[in-house]
Amino acid sequence: MAPMLYSLYGFAIFFFIFWCGKWVVHLIALFYGRVKLHKKIIQHPVEVPYPGVSILKPLMGVDPHLFGNLESFFTMSYPTYELLFCIEDDIDPSIMLVKRLQEKYPNVDSKIFIGGERVGVNPKINNMQPGYRAAKHELIMISDSGIRMKEDTLLDMVHHMKDNVGLVHQMPFSSDREGFAGTLEKIYFGTVQARIYLAADFVGVNCHTGMSTIMRKALIDEVGGIKAFGCYLAEDFFFAKSMTDRGWRISICSQPAWQNSGICEVNSFQARLTRWAKLRVAMVPYTIVFEPLSECMVIGGIASWAVSFLFNLDPLVFYLVHILVWFLLDWILLSIIQNGSVSFGKFDFVVGWLFREFSGPCLFVRALWDPVIQWRTRTYRLKWGGIAEELKPKVKV
């Protein structure tokens, strides 16, 4: 019995320490978010001009918000930048939309690249390759179609490109949208994702999501350009890893990325989270153990057993207090990320928060159960290390 008792003590101590560590992450995110985010950058005349930025915009299809999202790039307050629209299919309806914006803003330097170039399995890299090759500025920005910019967002990002920084990215967040799906997205990006993102940036760990990113083009060219990352589906993670491996820092800017896709549905959002989980497991295998333990309901239940075993505390009372405090800190963090009042009520937050917390572990199990990734019309299988191979549909004879 003694060896088993020692093992139980060991597990209990480990889970209790891990639980304490999660509260440290909460506190780091709250204080760092308050200090880091939503700082107003004022554009002053300087002797050294601001560096030019080449903005790659990979597009596929049109949603109800696309025109407004793209227009926000034509109206940015930044001295020198170019817009490089990359579209895979020559009959894509986004082409006409971009041409309308070019006619509306003729003074903005913009070009359209159609057809892409196959340099790997990643369709986004393939789509952007012609635009990247034509980019003429020292900074390169990759921005997803669903991102909406403020006038000073680009200035804010370049402001954070210090001499020792190779990559600046925006912390993912969500625009105000109606419906339960919009509430769910905002809760996820303003709590779970924000907590990890802020804590990772504070300690200098790679937690890069490349929906809105600026990089030093020379550093990407050193390793062969963006086509060198075409073998990965999560090219954003490996962009950042390439920088940190060579001693460069990565940093978030003070403005979160405003995701504003016109398609907002619970099923599509959960499919997106499941795909991200599959990528994390392939790239960082210890995610299999630590990610489920990071969930509120899971770590709370295990920690309740641990404190009951170690300190003879009531596990049910401990579990309920754990959930309540976690919930309150998430509400405070969301308010910090939002920089004001959220667009939904407290009851909506309670329902959305509980739904997210209970569904999160289930989505992770689903990701482990089926590692194949569906991305638009294509199917991929991931190998350890994040390298992907495209699965071609079987031809019936």
How far is the C-alpha of 305 from the C-alpha of 171, rounded, in Å?
35
Q: 368-395: b or e for each residue (b if 16 or more CB lie within 10 Å)?
A: eeeeebeeeeeebebeeebbbeeeeeee
Q: Residue 386, Cα to own-chain centre: how many angstroms?
A: 17
Question: Where do the H-state alpha helices sit in 135-191?
Answer: 153-159, 179-190
Tell me which H or E stretch contains 53. strand 53-59
- State the sign of the Cα–Cα–Cα–Cα dihedral 191, 194, 198, 201: positive
Q: 240-267: b or e for each residue (b if 16 or more CB lie within 10 Å)?
A: bbbbbeeebebbbbbbbbbbbbeebeee
User: What's the farthest any 2 CA atoms get from each other in the chain?
Assistant: 80
How far is the C-alpha of 293 from the C-alpha of 216, rounded, in Å?
36
**How is 95-151 classified by DSSP, letter by letter?**
HHHHHHHHHH-TTS-EEEEES---SSS-HHHHHHHHHHHH--SSEEEEE-TTEE--T
Residue 92: helix, strand or coil by DSSP? coil
- Residue 188's contacts (CB-CB under 8 Å, 6 or more residues apart) are 269, 273, 356
330 is catalytic: no
Select from 239, 80, 83 the least CA-distant residue to 166.
239
- Residue 267's contacts (CB-CB under 8 Å, 6 or more residues apart) are none
Catalytic residue among 156, 201, 236, 330: 236
Q: Which amino acid is at 392?
A: K
Residues in the chain, overall count? 397
Residue 212: helix, strand or coil by DSSP? strand
- Residue 202's contacts (CB-CB under 8 Å, 6 or more residues apart) are 28, 32
Query: Which positions are annotated as active-site residues?
Result: 236
